[in-house]
Amino acid sequence: MTQRCRRWLDGKIARIQAQESYSPEQTNEAIAKKYGLKPESIVKLNYNENLFLPRDRQIALLKEVAEECDLRIYPQDQEERLKEKIGEYLQVPTESVAIGNSSDELMERIIRVFLEKGDKAVTFVPTFSVFKCCVDFRGANFAGVSLRDDFSVDMAAMQAAFTPDARLLYLCSPNNPTANQLKQREIEALTEEFPGLVMVDEAYAEYADYSVVPLIDKYPNLVVLRTFSKAFGLAGLRLGYAMANPRLAASIDKAPAPYVVNVVSLMMGRKLLENVGLVKESVEALKSERRSLIAELGKLKGVDVFDSKTNFVTFNVDRPAEDVYVNMLKKGLIIKKLGKLVNYPNCLRTTVGKPDMNKRLLTAMKKEFDE
């Protein structure tokens, strides 16, 4: 290796390592070792996973996939069959669907394809942190407009950020980590005025009040992201999709490598759509548990809990969030430490778990805030 090559490579690696990226949190095993707990006793409530979809039914479907698929063969037909099922599920043409390895991967792909270095990407903050990471890696300019104190969008401030160099607008709705959903008229107003591509992230749409998918024909610059990781319970398979008008969807779907999504993920997505009643039942069960969790957390003195249109609940506490987070860890409960959100200084987030999991969390929280 020449000195010139080594300097270039070392500099490139240093710049990559300096970039902010999404960092997974500690594993159950690491937490158990640190606090002297048994790994199997730990309750994981920090990643917004859907635990309401019955695992035995999921296993049965996976066994069907194993019987029906041939792993020696490239998945030529399975992607189209999944697109057809998504089209039936959301009443859109097959040509309007693009498939990816999670909605995160599709987000990164869209940023890579449609943003040039120096272009401006606009969103509100706080929001899903992966978007900024992807924008930064692309070398584009990130512009984050603060939400109002009630987590609503400051429309005037957002529109003021729509300068001629703005090329991508990201709207997470329902929003992670604030759990609220934007008003449809606000999304439409922003989409109409924005001079570039508008990406609406609907990862939690099944838990929300409405979807903007019906608007993809009305707005040629609108793309909607969805995932199988939340309501469909396939977080481990990393499957997502995007919807847009056929011309835009084809551009998103145009990847340089063939067969980017594996056959097992494609077939499991289709199997769940063929059994979508199972998914809808799990969503309704979670919504019921969500109402109870919000009500019980709201009774605690020193806790301000926010309404949710997702499968998680965000709340602010009257003491350092770090202290509450660590005290929950010591009891074998992993929640998400958020810190400051707008003017709320000590925010935390918990997945809506199964009733026994939530009961354990509430018991620990009651003890924490009764002392």
Cβ neighbours, 10 Å, residue 33: 12
Higher pLDDT, 45 or 26: 45
Higher pLDDT, 294 or 10: 294
Position of tokens 């987590």? 151
C-alpha closest to that of 269 among 293, 243, 242, 237: 237
Instruction: Please report, for the chain, the start and end positions of each structural domain, with discontinuous segments joined by +.
Output: 24-45+278-370, 55-274
Looking at residue 371, its pLDDT comes to 61
Segment 129-143 mean pLDDT = 96
Segment 231-249 mean pLDDT = 97
Cβ neighbours, 10 Å, residue 150: 10
Integer angstrom CA distances of residue 322 from 317, 345, 347: 10, 11, 9
Is the pLDDT at 99 greater than 90? The verdict is yes
Looking at residue 22, its pLDDT comes to 63
Q: Read off the pLDDT band of 257 (50, 70, 90).
A: confident
CA-only gyration radius of the chain, Å: 21
> Could you give the dihedral angle defined by the CA atoms of residues 61, 67, 68 and 72, in that order, rounded to the nearest 10 degrees?
120
Cβ-proximal residues to 257 (8 Å cutoff; 6+ apart), any chain = none
Looking at residue 180, its pLDDT comes to 98
Q: For the segment 48-89, what is each residue's pLDDT rounded down to a tens digit?
A: 999 999 999 999 999 999 999 999 999 989 999 999 999 999
**What class has domain 55-274?**
alpha beta
Considering the segment(s) 24-45+278-370 as one domain, its CATH architecture is Alpha-Beta Complex (3.90)
Q: Read off the pLDDT band of 10 (50, 70, 90).
A: confident
Same fold, 24-45+278-370 and 55-274: no
Q: For the segment 38-49, what is each residue's pLDDT rounded down to a tens digit?
A: 888 999 999 999
Is the pLDDT at 149 greater than 90? The verdict is yes
Bond into 126 cis (ω within 30): yes
- Give me the chain's average pLDDT, please: 94
Q: Read off the pLDDT band of 21 (50, 70, 90).
A: low
Helix (H) / strand (E) containing 155: helix 155-160
Segment 228-248 mean pLDDT = 97
Is the pLDDT at 165 greater than 70? The verdict is yes
Higher pLDDT, 65 or 4: 65
Output the DSSP codes for 115-179: --TT-EEEEEES--HHHHHHHHHHTPEEEEEEPPTTS---HHHHHHT--TTEEEEEEESS-TTT-
Position of tokens 């189209």? 80
